Amino acid sequence: MVNRFRRATRRRAVAIATAGTMLAAWFAVPAAPVQAADTNLIVNGGFEEGLGSWFVNNGNATDSATLSVTTDAYSGSSAVLVTNRATTGSGPMQDLSGKVQAGQTYALTARIKYENPNSPATKQFFATMHYGGGTYTNLVSVTATRGQWAQFNGQFTIPATQSVSTARLFFETPWTSNPSSDPNVHLMDFKLDDVSVVGAAPPPTPSKTIEVVGKLPGEHNPLIGHKFGADGFGFTHDGRVYLYLTNDTQGYAPNPTTGVSPSINYGNINQITLISSTDLVNWTDHGEIQVAGPNGVAPFTGNSWAPGMAKKVVNGQEKFFLYYANGGGSSNVITGASPLGPWTSERTSTLIDGRTPGAEAVAWKFDPAPLVDDDGEAYLYFGGGPAATSMPAAERFNNPKNLRAIKLGSDMVSTEGTSAVVDAPVAFEAAQVFKREGKYYLSYSSHFGGNDFGGNQTPLPGYPGGGQIGYMISDDPMSWPKETYAGVLFPNQSQFFGAGTGGNNHQSVFEYEGKYYFTYHAPTLNKRINGNTTQGYRSPHIQQLAFNPDGTIQQVVGTYAGVDQVRNFDPYRVFEAETFGWSKGVATAKVDGGSPEFGGAAPNLVVRDIDNGDWTALSSVDFGDGAQSVTAKVRPLVAGGKIELRLGGATAPVVGTIPVDGPLGEWTELTAELDGVAGVHDVYFTYAGPGGVDLFEIDSWAFEAGQPELPVTVTVQARCIGGKAYVAVQARNDHTAAVGITLETVYGERSVANVAPGGNAFQQFATRAGSVPVGSATVRATGSIDGEAVTTVVTEQYSGVDCAADPRQAQ
């Protein structure tokens, strides 16, 4: 994990050197007859839907160009026009990752035209595949005549050994080292139309669903068991904790047979995962924010690692700022209208990069963590990676000076002045600052030594070892001399979680309801899936942070137990089904239409991949005096599914059942009556139905409380007075406030207003008869409980009496 940041390969001369291996495709090999099962993998190949699904090749930072729709089409009414080409690779691109397969042969056709009168009379063009990193392969070639539509028409076979986890098709002119020396020859505008790549249908998307119980019932770490997430940044707003995470699940692709995924590839990650909680045990999955990449909020960035979050009122408007690492080379920020978005980009270029003053010597300008101080001033901490070689070896190891602090502008999306060195001992990355009792605490991750840090050495006494979280305490958010170093806050996580969980870490500290919490990650879910040989997929954890009287921090111990649940879960409201403490075998997916719990502008997810035997569970749900019913918003996918409610465990007795019998494929609300569900319980929703199929999807839950009742004690008796029968009815008010009471029998009715607490309403109803049969009296008490008007009705039976046979007398 030391090589967390892999340098992107900037050259691709290799593509030309190896191009001979597919020379056969360069010549006009007629396309093989396409079989009926073959599929065109290109979306919007004729550009009749504008530029949809197309973007400019962004394999290299310099490969820029402008795409626009032109009506000069080969067929239909539009084609694409490429202008402002900067490199020979500048051209329209479409992502075929997950669609093309190694070992398969595809037929490629397309029409291309160039018209620049100063260009040569003929020109060769390539259709090329970028397989990620520096791997490019020319697929099919055509030599066009100026001013005429030429046709690409060939086949290509993807080598059986080629990784196709990244496969992006684009169109270009042949590579040359200095194309701008003759732009008419190398960088001419061109038009493209009718692109098709026909071959084997894309393989079904492999399931990413975590089938094991990754977070064990009763344990609070990892925070979630149904997906991964790393580099967590804790952020509190309006009584809620939000955790922003690098989306480690993005590239997770377990082999359907072995269950083992290729190792994590940070270069593929361009989304940030967001979860939130009000109790730190039950977490709501808000899904992924598409931050970077062609369809990202900030499309000028390619990656989104190691998020940091801050809020500030700017020009009278509360805004939320999500900072992230654009790979290792730069950092950026997007703006949210709420902690859940929606998100916009106020910038058109990265916030921290090679132009940032004072950061020139920082190798990795990443890991941005914001701090908004009490006075409204804001700061950004960032940086990491190899120490400058200009320093002596011992200094490179012990004081690499690779972290920085810089003031943020009042708009939070710009920086002010020059960044200051954070002289953190043995520093590697992951600087983060919080403030407590007037002091600033900066924590960071330490390096593992090696050539990047002057060779392997022993750290100075007291300095951190490799892969630990150290911290510093300062009175000034911009001043971090080495003397502010205060010790190791957290040893390496492998010390607590064992084999397969080592590597670097990335932490944050946040305050919630008066307590401080420490976030870190560990590949504990990966370990539960795959054993001690993990593939680098990390999971978020939280521990409580305790301070010594002198302000230093007690070293954190990592545990699966995690933190105490902050409060019981309130079930009497509509809440998302994608909120749970524990789960088995389910996944989540984003759906349109806003969130039932968080509002129309917030993302909404549903629980999916629900098979017979899967379950989700909520920790410490407080049902109070009792629940009357539970309602699920659910979309049935097959007949015969049901949701069972159990208390305390996935195999505990069923206390309620919702038959999922609505119309297939339609969202519907289904309710089950409950009886005797009161007090605090872990609640398990267990899912049952036919095997081997997805049963249904669930959007939200809502419990309904039983009606509260006014406590009244009713006594009824038939008795004889002077040979006549009377029915005596008494109701005592056991409530803490006055209530109105009505006593009713077939012999009359009496209402008493404002019966005081402990007081009685009483009436002897005369029957004018010598005997009465068995009967009943009804007592109505009307009052209020917790400000809500309540009427409670009690019916009580009395025995018959015959005053001649049984001359009972009144007392």
Which sequence positions are flagged as catalytic? 231, 429
DSSP letter assigned to residue 767: -
Residue (79 or 197) nearer to Ca ion, CB: 79
Cβ 337 to Ca ion, closest distance in Å? 20
Contact 340, 602 (CB under 8 A): yes
Binders of Ca ion among residues 696 to 735 (CB under 5 A) are 699
Kind and range of the H or E element at 680? strand 680-688
| Part in contact with Ca ion (CB under 5 A); list of ranges 457-465, 568-576, 647-655, 797-805 | 568-576
Min CB(340)–Ca ion separation in Å: 13
Name the minimum Å distance from CB 139 to Ca ion. Answer: 21
Contact 441, 380 (CB under 8 A): no
Q: Distance between CA atoms of 366 and 429, rounded to whole angstroms? A: 8
Give the position of tokens 């879960």: 569
User: In the bound complex, what is the minimum distance in angstroms from residue 80's beta carbon to Ca ion?
Assistant: 9
| Least distance from Ca ion to the Cβ atom of residue 276, Å | 13
Nearer to Ca ion, 138 or 686 (CB): 686
Q: For Ca ion, how many residues bind (rule: CB under 5 A)?
A: 13
CA pseudo-torsion sign 207, 108, 10, 87: negative
**Residue 19 vs 210, nearer CB to Ca ion:** 210
Q: Which of 414, 270, 425 is nearest to 353 (CA)?
A: 414
Q: How far apart are CA 774 and CA 546, in angstroms?
A: 69
Smaller CB distance to Ca ion: residue 113 or 365? 113
76 binds Ca ion (CB under 5 A): yes
Least distance from C-beta 583 to Ca ion, angstroms? 10
285 binds Ca ion, rule: CB under 5 A: no
Site for Ca ion in 22-51 (CB under 5 A): 46-47
Cα(448)–Cα(346) distance, rounded to whole angstroms? 37
Residues 610-649 that bind Ca ion (CB under 5 A): 611, 614
Task: Select 374 or 592, whichever has its Cβ closest to Ca ion.
Answer: 592
Using the rule CB under 5 A, is 73 a contact of Ca ion? yes
Q: What are the backbone dihedrals phi and psi of residue 266, each rounded to the nearest 5 degrees, phi first?
A: -60, -30
Residue matched to tokens 């502010």: 484
Helices (H), 399-493: none
Residue 209 Cβ, how far from Ca ion at the closest point, in Å? 5
- The piece of 19-27, 69-77, 494-502, 649-657 that touches Ca ion (CB under 5 A) is 69-77
Measured from the CB atom, the residue of 556 and 632 that comes closer to Ca ion is 632
Question: Phi/psi at 526 (nearest 5 deg)?
Answer: -55, -40
For Ca ion, which is the closer residue by CB, 279 or 609? 609
The HSE-up count of residue 168 (CA atoms within 13 Å, CB side) is 24
Instruction: Report the phi/psi class of residue 4: left, alpha or beta, with left for phi > 0 and alpha for psi in -120 to 50.
Output: alpha
Helices (H), 509-641: 524-530
Residue 388 DSSP SS3: coil
Q: Which of 63, 172, 189, 193 is close enough to bind Ca ion by CB under 5 A?
A: 193
Q: Which H or E run contains 16?
A: helix 13-17
Q: Considering only residues 63, 189, 248, 609, which one is a binding residue for Ca ion as defined by CB under 5 A?
A: 609
- Shortest distance (Å) from residue 615 CB to Ca ion: 10
- If you ran DSSP here, which 8-state letter would residue 180 be given? G
Interacting residues with Ca ion between 77 and 96 (CB under 5 A): 79
- In angstroms, the CA 714 to CA 392 distance is 91
Interaction of residue 599 with Ca ion, rule CB under 5 A: no
CB 248 within 8 A of CB 270: no
Q: CB of residue 309 vs Ca ion: minimum separation in angstroms?
A: 22
Contacts with Ca ion, 662-701, as mask; x by CB under 5 A: -------------------------------------x--
Sign of CA dihedral 302, 308, 309, 315: negative
Work out the number of other CB atoms within 10 angstroms of the CB of residue 218.
12
Asked if 654 contacts 687 with a C-beta cutoff of 8 angstroms, the reply is: no
| CB closer to Ca ion out of 189 and 609 | 609
DSSP 3-state assignment of 521?
strand
CB 630 within 8 A of CB 645: yes
> Position 371: which residue type?
L
Q: Examine residue 585 and tell whether it contacts Ca ion (CB under 5 A).
A: yes
Those residues whose C-beta lies under 8 Å from the C-beta of residue 528, and which sit 6 or more positions away, are 212, 213, 214, 225
What phi and psi, each to the nearest 5 degrees, are found at residue 496? -105, -30
Question: CB 611 → Ca ion: shortest distance, Å?
Answer: 4
| Residue nearer to Ca ion on the CB measure, 73 or 245 | 73
Nearer to Ca ion (CB atom), residue 231 or residue 576: 576
Is 279 or 578 the residue whose CB approaches Ca ion more closely?
578
409, 380 Cβ separation under 8 angstroms? no
Residue whose structure tokens are 């729709």: 69
CA atoms within 13 A on the CB side of 251: 19
Residue 349 carries which side chain, given as an amino acid letter? S
In this structure, the strands spanning 515-522 and 343-344 are unpaired
For every residue of 208-270, DSSP letters joined together read ----S--S-TT---SS-SSS--EEEEEEEETTEEEEEEE-GGGG----TTT-PPPPP-GGG--
Toward Ca ion, which CB reaches closer, 131 or 580?
580
Q: How far is the CB of 500 from Ca ion (least distance, A)?
A: 25
Task: Using CB under 5 A, pick the residue from 63, 172, 279, 576 that binds Ca ion.
Answer: 576
Minimum distance, C-beta of residue 606 to Ca ion, in the bound complex (Å):
5
How far apart CA 466 and CA 8 sit, in angstroms, is 25
Residues that bind Ca ion (CB under 5 A): 46-47, 73, 76, 79, 193, 576, 585, 604, 609, 611, 614, 699
